[in-house]
Structure 1
Amino acid sequence: MTEHFHLNLIGGHDWIVKTAQLLPLGITDQHLHFFFGMILIALIYALIRPLIYWMILLKWERVLTYLVSGLFVLFLLVSYEMYQGITGSGNVEFRDVANGALAMIFFGSFIAVIYLVELFFSYIKQLKKQKAKSA
């Protein structure tokens, strides 16, 4: 299975663009990666921007902080796994990144429970204030 996966990675973007046809024009593999990276980041930006704007309007700072920090941690985990693969200093396992993502999900659940408890207590506090005003 690893060989099949490796062979698919060698061809990379040849199913989209024939690199050999672009070489006479001076367009190299690096140019293609830059171009595809720009398209991908523009698409992701266009898709994520309304979601972020909506979260800002709803004042969901905790969710935004959690998402940014979670993405940063996943980036670090993937980078470390790639470092291990490049240097041969350890075993590269998808399971390590999956366990990191699972830890991120558990931490997010913990934050959600804490937030719900805070909401509950603030609601009780408001009820007490309203009863005190009406009495």
Structure 2
Amino acid sequence: MSASQQSRPLTAEERARSLDVLADLLASTFDAQVSAAEVHRALARGNTAGGDDDDNSWRVSMMKCIHEHNTEVASEAAQRDSQEWICPMCETVNWSLDARKTLRRQQEETSCRLSRLVTEPLRCECCGYDGTAAPP
């Protein structure tokens, strides 16, 4: 008997197990860009947003979850690759790219290619101090 010809509805446990299998399958399809928990969340969004009417609603939810995940990962990577510095003129906390971490990551990612490091001079967001003027 095929799934479309089942005579009884699925129990809550069977639905949960099926959802787990589906979530794992979808998560693996997206090459670890999302976790099974994020797939669960996307499918739940699709169900609450009238997913029965629109077969593509789960895809939209999946893409939203992937975008949220990628945004979080990019934000965490930016924090790891930056360093805090305090302006000696106005004592404002600024953030700059940590050149050593960026270079190390680039060398790990591209072991065959020579990486080029671009460094930007420090400049205070508040007062414009760039390291050339002596603090008082």
TM-score (norm 1): 0.35
The answer to which structure has the higher strand fraction is 2
The one of the two structures with greater contact order (alpha-carbon pairs below 8 A, sep at least 6) is: 2
The answer to which structure has the higher helix fraction is 1
TM-score (norm 2): 0.35
